[in-house]
Amino acid sequence: MDTEVDALRETEEKPVKPLNIAIIGCGGIAQTHINYLKKIPGVTIVAGADINPAALDRMKSAHGVTALYEDFNVMLKKEGAKIDAVSVCTPNGVHHDAAIAASQAGKHVICEKPMAMNAKQAQEMADAAKKAGKEFVIGFQHRYEPRSKVLRDMIADGVFGKILYVRAQALRRRGIPNWGVFGQKALQGGGPLIDIGVHILETAHSIIGTPKPVSATGNTFTFLGNKESSVVSQWAGWDWKTYTVEDFAAGMIRFDTGALLTLEASFVAHIDHDIFNLQIFGEKGGAIWDGTQIFTDFNDYMVNVTPPFIGKWDIWDYKIRHFVEVARDGRKNEAPAEHGVMVQKMLDGIYASAEAGHEVKID
């Protein structure tokens, strides 16, 4: 018989190690986690916790989960023996308590972005996982994109030389969420900076090798979100009466390498079109992330290079499978807690600078 067929059959028949996962926060983003988790052989959703009874009803009707609780602490206590890992998909304000409880219960954790409300909370979450001897994966997905990988690989190989400057933008012309608690600082931690700016910031930071941030300067502006508006937009009708976050934020981070990074993030900005992109400037070359264009010199000429193919995969599938393989199979964690802590320190720094009116140090 053909040896390749035999090898394939052996792979198919090899038993898959089980992994039982509980969900804390069973709302919108949890459904994405669950749908991808259900595609992975050996993975079972065994329990869920949410303060909203409707979310628990959906867990039962849509996913067949019956071990359902309004209190995640009760869930971890009663179902703990069945649970190997926990997916934290709550609003930002609950990340800290839920993730620490899961780590202290001896579970591996994946936590949606941003890691926490502030860097102090983030560090406590990282410390709890380390003390428990369990993995903690931050739920950033754009670091897994092919266009992120190609630039990260080139930078790591020295193709661009020393990185001097990065410009990161997550800008919406008019995109204030009209659902959830995105406009409530007490529950969310902030506005577009911590909600969408965090994605492009983390992507840029991971691409350039996760250098240590040492200082930040920036400002935030609220000029429309806290007012009633009749302007036609795709997400009209947000709750402007409870809106306490910024519409627009701009900041600059200085790293211990000497590199600078500027970040712009908005729910509201008077611009031509939405932007989600980053640009890298190095001594030997530079690049634009969206479109994967590389700019350098070759044979005494300036050249623009666009790779014809850089790979293609579903980044959410990568993100969720990565967590499963980290928790179950011992795969190296590509999004460890310490990266999330550094990102949180940068966000904190920009917010602190905006409040203080001057540059602030990042410890």
- Residues 214-219, mean pLDDT to the nearest whole number: 98
pLDDT band at 9 (very low <50, low <70, confident <90, very high): very low
pLDDT, position 15 = 79
Domain ranges in the chain are: 3-142, 144-313+334-361
pLDDT band at 341 (very low <50, low <70, confident <90, very high): very high
Q: List, for residues 272-305, the tens digit of each pLDDT value.
A: 999 999 999 999 999 999 999 999 999 999 999 9
Asked whether the predicted pLDDT for residue 1 surpasses 80, the reply is no
- Look up the CATH number of domain 3-142: 3.40.50.720
Bigger pLDDT: 112 vs 12: 112
d(CA 360, CA 363): 10
Number of H helices, E strands in the chain: 12, 15
Sheet holding 301-305, edge to edge: 301-305, 293-298, 285-288, 275-282, 163-171, 260-266, 248-255, 213-221, 360-361
- Residues 191-196, mean pLDDT to the nearest whole number: 97
pLDDT, position 200 = 98
CATH tag for 144-313+334-361 (out of 1.20.272.10, 3.40.50.300, 1.10.10.10, 3.30.360.10): 3.30.360.10
Q: What is the rounded average pLDDT for all residues in the chain?
A: 95
Is the whole-model pTM more than 0.85?
Answer: yes
Asked whether the predicted pLDDT for residue 307 surpasses 60, the reply is yes
